[in-house]
Amino acid sequence: MDSRLAALFAIWRKAFLPLGRIDDPLSVFAGHAGHLLVIDPEGERHRYSHYGQAFARAFGTDLTGQIIDLVPTEILPVDRRGILDFEYTFARSAKRPLWRAHTGQFADDKTQTWQRLVLPLGQDRLAVGAYPAQLVPERQEEKLLRLVIERMPVVLDDDLRIQDLALSLAAFCDTQQQMAELEVLASSDSLTGVANQRHFLHLAGLELDHALRMERAFSLLALDIDHFKRINDGYGHATGDAALKAFVAACKTALREYDILGRLGGEEFGVALPNTGVEGAMVIAERLRQHVQDIRLPLPKGEALAFTVSVGVCAFQLGGGQKDVDIPSMMEKADAALYRSKSQGRNRVTLAE
């Protein structure tokens, strides 16, 4: 074990074992505060109430106050989030310290191995100390142990001896797969497979923030399938669902790989266009409109269903005099342009004023 973590464990053992709790971990572990997380229970979730500066530097952001399973995936990927949630839940229920290691790319894209200790504080609170491992010559058994803690949390007893593994390898793999599946379910529209409203707005917000930082253009499209109620009423909801799927497929052929398509509700969709100004957004919107117009959905009696889409475009470009730009305000403008498309005859693209 890294010597700094061993020192942290010794402090925990002396403070925790007599009372079964540590009420002021930042005071008790003052010498490790920069490399310390304090995690408070939030129902079944976990919230960072202290996030050491070493973590903020290594991961590029300060997550103080954040609930772990609501942290954006680009900051905390699904596979990492799943095992962290498992470790913290296990440590809370078992009330035992865990030892773990993780190798990955951290600050400046450097590959490092960080070892960490998850320490119970009582009342379902946890402290996590972590340090980048110091490279030292290893004996064969130490190499084997390092491989184990890279893949599995190890349960420690009060004397820093290995007591057990927190999870079998088979169960660990199953948990990882389940977490990935849950993440997809939580962020995707169940019918069409594109981003649901919550996830779309989140991703669009991240792209707008990036555009503002990098001084790049950014655009949003608001889409609404024309007369969609007639499809449901005239042909049934099964045909309506098939029309939505065909619509999404047509949109994907018209969009670029990095564009973001989301279903906002019913027959309403949105598209985020990173690094795209007014002219590019209008070209893409018109191409998308044409792809949808070309849809021919086979019907049971040998007929083919055709339908169209109305589009509203809102573009943000630095130097355009726009202030306090955000996704809700851009969506409001795109929606207003969409309804002008509707009022002017449908099956058209309108640029926001």
Contact 118, 88 (CB under 8 A): yes
Q: What is the set of active-site residues?
A: 267
CA distance 255 to 262: 12
Q: Which amino acid is at 149?
A: I
